[in-house]
Chain A
Amino acid sequence: MLTYTIRRLILTIPTLIFISFVIFLIVKLSPSDPTANLPLTIPPEVREKIRESLGVNQPITVQYFLWLKQFFWLEPRIFLENSFGWDLGTANETRLISYATRSPVMDLIWERMPQTLWVVGTAYVVGILIAIPIGIYSAYRQYSFFDQAGTFISMVGFSVPPFFSGVLVIVVFSVLIPTDSFWWLPSIYDTTHRVTDWESFKFQFRQMIMPVMVLALQITAQISRFARASMLDNLNQDYVRTARAKGVRERGVVMKHVLRNSMIPVVTVIALGIPGIFGGAIITEQVFKVNGLGQLLIIAIQGGDVPMVQTLTFIFAILIVLFNLVADVLYGLLDPRIRYD
């Protein structure tokens, strides 16, 4: 398993470089333009000057290699300088600059990280914590009232998109409930809020309730379905009958044998979702004005901000590749019979 992991890690480098090139081609080819969102009062010749100063018109390979150099060579050094106070001689080099803000891409990403992790990350943890028990119990008592209700709620929850459910909870908790009520919740997330004491933590908690719940609903619906299906498959296997026959307690059968064997699809889905935490949740972030990485990405896409889209998508790609590797390693731990070599 160790050699497999090391081999896979080495293999990720060419994979990621190839992915970065494909992403770059797509982002460059797509017809949006960094000056598109400017008012029409700005004349075309000025727009052309702006494009030139951004370097949009340079040959595509030049731009790609510049990006590669900045992302893999310059930015890591700057990160080291900032964390350890070293001097690696980066002062005179041009950093990876976003077209829209004309400021370093990586700084913006770091700035967005906290709120994204807080909201989307919490939602993910909450979602998983709710989903797995529901999945287990629904499968164990298949077609019981609990199972039917769980199926119904998760399916409806999954088919109602967040652009609707988000507005719905805002209308209920921010508009219909009066502002001075205990149940009132803020509809706009304050990204400048800092948790320093109990009071500020309470505020943070309140402003996170709605976005976290809306996101967690989707995550719960999805994971609980996979957990249930996989549990059902395993509950009917011979080894379960054998274990029961051997006199293992029911609790032990379900929690030890069945659960462990059912986790493979669940682990896959969770691993696929974790990069999504960093990708942010575009619609939910927009509805609640969380302004995390998802909002950064969508604004960059709409504004034709190539360096930003490229960098964000590529970081996303790194996480996808890494977490899929983690999932593969976990398969081996969950089911020692799985071998890759």
Chain B
Amino acid sequence: MSNRTLPRILQTPAVILLLIWMLVPLSMTLYFSFIRYVLNSSIRPEWMTPSLSNWRGFGNYKYVLDAKDFWFAIQNSVFIVTSILVITVVLGLGIAVLINKSFPGRGIVRVLLISPFFVMPAVNAVLWINMILDPVLGLQGIAVGGINNIIDGLRDFPVLGAFFNLWPTFEPISFRATQTSAYAVIMMVAWQWTPFAVLIFMTSLQSEDESQKEAATLDGASPWSQFINLTVPHLARPIAIVVMIQSIFHLSLYAEIEIVSRGSGNKNLPYLIGEFTNNNIGAASATGIFAVILANIIAIFLLRMVGKSLMD
């Protein structure tokens, strides 16, 4: 066997498997997006089987583009992803710089910090929405109740009491409404992914050129200007990578939305597709194609960036 054929044979199973995995379901989605196809219809039972005779052209796409839910889902997807990105990058940078120096117990701090990343998404959501954020039974409810009790107690004091009488009684926030449940999702996902950002920034910080920093110190540069002028440019690439990888993961966020927001009206693109899938497969497929396009735009940027460093 020649030098060329064998490597090809060795990578064939992987290529074929991924090719099938990518092409078969996606071409079905494409097909369904151009026909009328619903799961339940007593008036038009012929729409219940996928067939070319139910051709609808771009009708499903038009239907989706006209749906209020679609624009809300896009807006909300972008809002959730952007918020998570800003929080994780800012916190991640701060924490990575903080624990980059050696100090007692640094190994344990690292282990504690990275742990949230390994918690399965379903547990993450159940834990946060019930045991932490619940307005009555969760820690939030208990904490707000405790603060109110303390303020109530202080009201009985002679002089200070007048001051505390001006304070309102605090109301716990319900995280199950449309807007607040988006905040809850942002909070729990940021908690899970900040460790990831920290880990990547730390790895990158360790390869930073120390001699450059020493030279800057000798030239009298302040720690802040060193951070802005040396460290941040060095971190530009890992920041970009953290942003891109997270965009891809969070655009398809599902478990957290499903658990926290079911019925609250808070939805993102994958959740909307799930809702359409209950009946209107045509609309679900058209929405799916839009999601693919959105993901591709981001993927192109990521692949370009990662691609450069691939072969060296």
A binds B: no
